[in-house]
Structure 1
């Protein structure tokens, strides 16, 4: 996470140029937070998308069917449609990537369920999709948040 190592292959790592400079300067690298705790710019709200974000951060790969029961335990209407729109926005912004192999479907003629993986875990607050502007707003980036365009 500090950019001093890069993975060459599974189980094999090497120093980056930054890592070599740190070793040459004699600087110590310690465990712990990378940056100071600046506090959250806002408290996360208890929404379907926030709960989905929490589950995505803990999961390796997932489908909308894996996330929906945890994000919407039954009282939200059209939660899966809501999450499909959110996943599409996160994918366009580069936060999610669609994996090439699908999970086997439940019906005989099904193509299967799309699997996703979270590629940008920026922090505890779920990015907010602003449909009217076609962008995401991420409270976890910068001092006051950052706008991420969705192509």
Structure 2
């Protein structure tokens, strides 16, 4: 994580997620893990879509970023206890991601990885249908799919910290907007 903070140390520096692996000499997944941990610890902030910079705390000389090992999991805030809230928070932090990125960001030691990945796949398909996410061209290679890779997505409708709820009828209720969102409503 120290390499991430050093990469952002220049005044006015803003680094995108796609630049991280090259700057840090790490895989895309490991670079995103460092980004998630630094974000959760309040060491970096999102300057614009997909672009991150240091916070005042991140610039502090007495910060020990290597001590940060997991994101906070307390009730309330961006990292609530439910899987869907953690998935939504990870999508908001990453901006652009594949399913493996989100799974890596939200998995906990006791998590059933197969069930989590299935949940992420279903949630992503609903969010794409409602216009929250758009698929990007190309695929990223991940260990789970080394030959075909996984689709990448971009969050285009970030309405707030509360995760959109998928109802039994397939519609999505956005708790941040206080209404049902349909596919014909454009991101704004």
Bin for the TM-score computed over the shorter chain: 0.5 to 0.7
Choose between structure 1 and 2: higher helix proportion: 2
- Unaligned runs of 5+ residues in structure 1 are 1-42
Q: What RMSD, in angstroms, separates the aligned Cα atoms of the two structures?
A: 2.2
Taking the aligned partners of 1:89 and 1:108, their CA distance within structure 2 comes to: 22
Report the TM-score, using the length of structure 2 for normalisation.
0.51
Taking the aligned partners of 1:69 and 1:108, their CA distance within structure 2 comes to: 14
1:111-122 to 2 correspondence within 5 Å? 111-122=148-159
Report the TM-score, using the length of structure 1 for normalisation.
0.62
Moved over 4 A (4+): 105-109
1:100 counterpart (121, 137, 143): 137
Q: Considering only CA atoms, is the larger Rg found in Structure 1 or Structure 2?
A: 1
Aligned length: 105
Residue 57 of structure 1 corresponds to 92
Choose between structure 1 and 2: higher strand proportion: 2
Cα 1:123/1:109, change in 2 over 3 Å = closer
Taking the aligned partners of 2:162 and 2:144, their CA distance within structure 1 comes to: 36
1:105: Cα distance to partner?
4.6
1:106: Cα distance to partner?
4.3
- Unaligned runs of 5+ residues in structure 2 are 1-75
- The secondary structure found in structure 1 opposite 2:88 is helix
Cα 1:133/1:107, change in 2 over 3 Å = closer
Q: Is the 8 A contact 1:135 1:150 kept in 2?
A: no
Cα 1:107/1:76, change in 2 over 3 Å = closer
1:149: Cα distance to partner?
2.7
Residue 85 of structure 1 corresponds to 122
